Amino acid sequence: MGKNLSLPGEITRFLFVGVNVFFNVIGLALLGVGIYMVIVGQSYAYVTGSQYTIGAAIVMGCGLVTCLISVLAIIGGLTKNSCLLLIYSLAMTVICLLQIAIGVYSFVYQTQITNTISNRFITALQNYTTSGSEDYDEDGNKFIDSVQTDLHCCGFNGPGDWLKYNLKYVIKNSGLPSSCYCDSVDGKECINFNIGDVRITVDVYGEGCNSTLYNLLNANILTVGSVSVVFGLMEIFGIMLSLLLCACISGRRVEYVKLT
């Protein structure tokens, strides 16, 4: 425990402790965002690939480390321990740079994912078949069914895509996948779709999955990018406070030694 600080030093110390209580909340928020990304990534990993999952893991890691480091900072501020404050400064600098890098990468990745979603979705739709078939793609089938069921949509641009890209499945099974069907009581979501090739009419979701899926994934990526950059910039303030507090503590110690 160091000697009493001057009034500006004490103000800096309590401000530093308060800021790091807030950073602890930020760390928990990042951890929550990362967990949510993992859950979403598991459902749509077929189109997002490993990049999305890796990004989610990094966000979770940053959140966890931020929580731990902020606790270290609070202890260092309350005990006026300059060694803990220096460790905090170094660790938070690394986290800050990493978060800003994640943010920048998220914005770049957002511009690339549109074509990826389109290509992967249509490929999965073309290869969609019943389980037990020789060319059955379990991951692709699960992805199509999950998206169509969760987002209440059918096909990429609409239910007509099944006739355009996978007529073989429609004829063989006398209809569209069950994940396309909806109850007519759902109202505007449902349309009466005529499958001329097999001469039947079914109630299916009228909207394609493209815009809804784009909006969902882009919103998640944009949120992660924005949160990472904003939090990273805010943490620079915490780093500056820690260095300033270190200077106050060191200066007071030098003054105390001279007086004794």
Q: Does residue 80 contact residue 1 with C-beta atoms inside 8 Å?
A: yes
Q: Summarize pLDDT for 218-232 with one digit per residue, the tens.
A: 887 888 888 888 888
**What interhelical angle do 82-127 and 138-151 show, nearest 10?**
100
Q: Summarize pLDDT for 101-126 with one digit per residue, the tens.
A: 888 888 887 777 777 888 889 999 99
Q: Summarize pLDDT for 5-29 with one digit per residue, the tens.
A: 777 778 888 999 999 999 999 889 8
Q: Which two tokens stand for residue 165?
A: 């890209």
**Beta partners for residue 30, in sequence order:** none
Does residue 183 surpass a pLDDT of 80?
no
What is the C-alpha separation between 56 and 244, in angstroms, rounded?
33
Which amino acid appears at position 196 of this protein?
Answer: G
- Map residue 159 onto helix, strand or coil: coil
> Strand ranges (DSSP E) for the chain?
190-195, 200-205
Q: Does residue 151 contact residue 216 with C-beta atoms inside 8 Å?
A: yes
In eight-state DSSP terms, residue 127 is H
**What's the pLDDT at 254?**
42
Global confidence as pTM: 0.70
